[in-house]
Chains A and B, each alone.
Chain A
Amino acid sequence: MTSLTLPPTGLRFENIDKRYGGLFALRRVSLEISPGECVVLTGRNGSGKTTLLRVAARIVRPTAGKLSFPGASTETDANGRPGYVAHTTMVYDELTAEENLVLFARLQNVPEPAARSEELLREVGLYDRRSSPVRTFSRGMRQRIAIARALIHRPSVLLFDEPATGLDPLGISWLAKSLGEVHRAGCTVVMSLHGESEISALATRAVRLDGGSVVADTNSGASLHSILAFGGG
């Protein structure tokens, strides 16, 4: 995206447990992600990828363990807050694209919210639909407004849950290009994926989850390809 000077921020999960009524969605997950890495999480459905990302986004509170962001500027600085993109847009259907972005910019104390929104709308290619309500958007456009929302506060960490779902090949190319730009600008990216694609090619590291635990990690010597190839849904 735009060139930004971001304080490089990593992610540290220390013995994270998440139980839902006695069943473990995450079991003693310890993972250290260095600033600037592009990490792919793979695993079957139900292996804990979504839960781990939601814990990182601080939407889900872990039952045990500690999450920290080494290198983050301050607790209250919006840059310390990760950007998060999931299966839904997480924006308001009844508001226009512009209104949504300005809302989230204002909430996170982004300076000059209107200008920043315009900047992002242009970058994701939604500028000429800025005054349309989001409910009129196609799947690809929804993905783009979701990304714009996630990046509005210039986060140093971006969390992405299955970004390629529902996108056509053109959409996937655009997404790979955009994620590449964000990564090159210094953002730490963590995303969950199934299988190999243009997007997984951006990865500097891969981690495989099964039954809520980390079972393979390129940092421990496994090859990127083997982890990704096994990651079918």
Chain B
Amino acid sequence: MSLLSNTATLLGKELRTEFRSRELLTTTVVFILVVLILFSFAISPTTEESREFGPGLLWLAILFAASLMLQPCFLREQANDTLSSLRLAVSDPFAIFLAKLIANTFFLLLTETLMLPFFAAFYNIPVLPQVHYLLLVLFLGSLGVSIVGTALSAISAQARMRELLLPLLLLPLLTPVLVVSATVSVSLLDREPVVQWKGVGFLAIFDFIFLTALWLFGEYLLEE
């Protein structure tokens, strides 16, 4: 199907471009690291408190990092007007969004996985026992962040003060993701871990709703 093959081709391009320069990945990893460290300077939690606050702080750091990481998403298509040549070439403009959001989810997830050992060390929270469930939550949460973030970055790329605008538009919209991901992560990393399937389901529904909205309205986001 043309949508899938276009998406695969564009995804290849997104990944190739990023892995060639690795600018975005390195800066995002360092940024989350810095934020996590600063949090522990500001709060200096005890070990027990770490378990309660740590995951929330991790998700906050992820959200901040994402709102920076998503800036170039559509901006880089403005340099040589490649957005126009893409729109000309693809059969369904949704392929452009799909490729970008999959790439963004992948980069976010990669960054988060790289951060996990540091997070475990700084906050004294063993993550290995529940790592598979944790990765599931990280995936669903990051997917939500990417779907909404990719859509909004298409909007902010067309406005002034876009560096400030994107976080301003993005962060309030992602409140549900922050609340649910943080809470589910806390109970996963508790001394007696519990998997909150209702929360996992909620994240999946969030992702589904916004993916559908992006599918319905995406082409208008790119219109001239």
Q: Please list the residues of chain A having a beta carbon within 8 angstroms of any beta carbon in chain B.
A: 54, 57-61, 76, 81-82, 84, 86, 88-95, 99, 103-104, 106-109, 149, 153
A91 to B91, CA, bound (A): 18
Any A CB within 8 A of the CB of B26: no
**Are A61 and B85 in contact, CB atoms less than 8 angstroms apart?**
no
**Are A59 and B2 in contact, CB atoms less than 8 angstroms apart?**
no
Q: What does DSSP make chain A's interface, helix, strand, loop or mixed?
A: loop
**Are A107 and B89 in contact, CB atoms less than 8 angstroms apart?**
yes
Residue in chain B with minimal CB distance to A20: B224
CB distance from A64 to the nearest CB of B (A): 15
Any A CB within 8 A of the CB of B17: yes
**Are A92 and B17 in contact, CB atoms less than 8 angstroms apart?**
yes
Which residues 1-17 of B have a CB within 8 angstroms of A? 2, 5-6, 9-10, 13, 16-17
| Chain B hits for A94, CB < 8 A | 17, 20-21
Cβ-neighbour of B224 out of A61, A76, A104 (below 8 A): A61
CB distance from A8 to the nearest CB of B (A): 21
Sample of 18 further A-B pairs with CB below 8 A, known A61-B224, A106-B5, A108-B89: A54-B84, A60-B224, A61-B223, A76-B2, A81-B88, A86-B81, A86-B84, A88-B81, A91-B80, A92-B13, A92-B17, A92-B80, A94-B17, A95-B13, A103-B13, A107-B6, A107-B10, A109-B2
A63 to B86, CA, bound (A): 22
Known contacts A90-B81, A92-B80, A94-B20, A104 near B89 by CB under 8 Å? yes
Contact with A along B72-93 (1 / 0, CB 8 A): 0000000111101111111100
Known contacts A54-B224, A99-B16, A107-B9, A92 near B88 by CB under 8 Å? no
A92 to B13, CA, bound (A): 10
17 intermolecular pairs with C-beta atoms under 8 Å apart: A57-B84, A57-B88, A60-B224, A61-B224, A84-B85, A88-B79, A91-B82, A91-B85, A92-B17, A94-B21, A103-B9, A104-B85, A104-B89, A107-B89, A107-B90, A108-B89, A153-B89
Closest 5 CB pairs of A and B: A90-B85, A107-B89, A88-B80, A106-B9, A88-B81
**Are A93 and B79 in contact, CB atoms less than 8 angstroms apart?**
yes
| Chain A hits for B91, CB < 8 A | 76
| Chain A hits for B87, CB < 8 A | 58-59
Cβ-neighbour of B88 out of A58, A61, A76 (below 8 A): A58
| Chain A hits for B9, CB < 8 A | 103, 106-107
| Chain B hits for A84, CB < 8 A | 84-85, 88
**Are B2 and A90 in contact, CB atoms less than 8 angstroms apart?**
no
CB distance from A59 to the nearest CB of B (A): 5
Known contacts A57-B88, A58-B88, A61-B223, A95 near B81 by CB under 8 Å? no
| Chain A hits for B88, CB < 8 A | 57-59, 81-82, 84
